[in-house]
């Protein structure tokens, strides 16, 4: 009978990693809105109204929730401007939507 007493490579286990409830939560994908993005948001709001899904499709790195939060923050900051845009709301025009989408994608590149 032969006993193998040679040590083999052992797997290294890190036990110092800190795990909190934030470890498994959703990561924030959307950064802050700059001035040009805010103006583009107003254009999208004028075109799409309160359809935040359509607005989020115009911006590559913004989701529906980010667009809704932007609307709520702009409603607090510039209530007059937002109400003016929403009172002058026009029927949805797909051609204008596509041209705005192309314009926003071209300014990104």
Mean pLDDT of the chain: 85
Residue 6 pLDDT exceeds 90: no
Residues contacting 67, CB < 8 A, separation 6+: 41, 52, 55, 56, 59
Q: How far apart are the C-alpha atoms of 58 and 105, rounded to whole Å?
A: 8
Residues contacting 93, CB < 8 A, separation 6+: 47
- Is the separation of the CB atoms in 61 and 30 below 8 Å? yes
Helix spans in the chain (H): 35-48, 52-58, 64-77, 79-87, 94-108
- Is the separation of the CB atoms in 63 and 26 below 8 Å? no
For the chain, the domains span: 31-108
Alpha-carbon Rg of the chain, whole angstroms?
25
Q: What is the pLDDT of residues 22-58, one digit of tens each?
A: 777 776 667 889 999 999 999 999 999 999 999 999 9
Q: How far apart are the C-alpha atoms of 2 and 5, rounded to whole Å?
A: 9
pLDDT of residue 9: 67
pLDDT of residue 89: 84
Q: How far apart are the C-alpha atoms of 89 and 40, rounded to whole Å?
A: 16
Residues in the chain, how many? 109
């Amino acid at each position: 009978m032969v006993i193998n007493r040679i040590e083999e490579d052992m797997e290294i286990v890190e036990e110092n990693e800190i795990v909190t409830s934030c470890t498994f939560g959703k990561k924030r994908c959307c950064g802050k809105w700059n001035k040009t993005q805010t103006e583009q948001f107003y254009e999208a709001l004028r075109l799409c109204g309160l359809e935040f899904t359509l607005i989020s499709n115009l911006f590559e790195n913004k989701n529906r929730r980010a667009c809704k939060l932007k609307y709520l923050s702009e409603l607090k900051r510039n209530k007059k401007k937002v109400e003016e845009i929403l009172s002058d709301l026009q029927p949805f025009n797909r051609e204008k939507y596509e041209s705005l989408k192309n314009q926003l994608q071209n300014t990104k590149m």
